[in-house]
A and B are shown apart, each in its own frame.
Chain A
Amino acid sequence: KAGVTQTPRYLIKTRGQQVTLSCSPISGHRSVSWYQQTPGQGLQFLFEYFSETQRNKGNFPGRFSGRQFSNSRSEMNVSTLELGDSALYLCASSFNPLGGQTEAFFGQGTRLTVV
């Protein structure tokens, strides 16, 4: 069974640009969550999508957005990049039927550097 795939693995962008990151979940998983990891703030939840709907959202500005497609693949977009957006962005997928909690499986992450 293939794991969670995130592309690209590394990305360098200039301040003010926008970026799109992609995540392909494990086959059969309908929930995709995104996290930002930085040395200072640790792991912070961005948002979760379930069956193409945003089900939960963390405390990030509107520059961070996401979507999920009918095949459960997800993308997150960051507009008007700031230096502080430099981070490892992790995607996690889970089966997560309503009313239950199953473990999340993480991808290897996309390392974004904003210069």
Chain B
Amino acid sequence: AQSVTQLGSHVSVSEGALVLLRCNYSSSVPPYLFWYVQYPNQGLQLLLKYTSAATLVKGINGFEAEFKKSETSFHLTKPSAHMSDAAEYFCAVSRGSQGNLIFGKGTKLSVKP
């Protein structure tokens, strides 16, 4: 069975500091991996996705993630945090043609001025 673990339900950084949100997955088949962001009372917006092309994936708003098969990880990073990055971030995994995503519990990011 597939699963996703996000380490840290809350992460707080200062504006301008590095953002690192951790995600580990378990999957018996090569996975498709995604990071989504959710602002209060909103739906989910795709930040980036990994679909076995390049291991370093660049997304929107300056975010990127690196797929490491040996560590079964797909951590999300951003070199310099901005106040507008404050939101909840979800890592998700899916299998092939099946449409469902399996989400991690989410990490709430706070950005201090």
Contact = CB atoms under 8 A, between A and B. Distances in A.
Interface stretch (B15-23, B68-76, B78-86, B96-104): B96-104
Contacts, number: 68
Contacts of B42: 108-109
Interface in B10-40: 32, 34, 36
B103 A99 contact: no
A40 B76 CA distance: 24
Interface residues of B, number: 25
B98 A48 contact: yes
A101 B46 contact: no
A48 B97 contact: no
A79 B95 CA distance: 30
A61 interface: no
Size band of the interface chain A makes with B: 20 to 34
A101 B106 contact: no
B98 A55 contact: yes
A4 B43 contact: yes
B46 A56 contact: no
Nearest to A48: B99
Contacts of A92: 44, 101
Given A101-B32, A101-B94, A90 B43 contact: yes
B99 to A, nearest CB: 4
Contacts of B49: 103
A28 B67 CA distance: 30
A42 B92 CA distance: 12
Contacts of A104: 46, 99, 101
A31 B99 CA distance: 7
Interface in A82-115: 90, 92, 94, 96-101, 103-109, 111
Contacts of B106: 42-43
In the A-B complex, list the 6 residue pairs whose CB atoms are closest, starting with the nearest: A106-B43, A48-B99, A43-B103, A106-B44, A45-B100, A101-B32
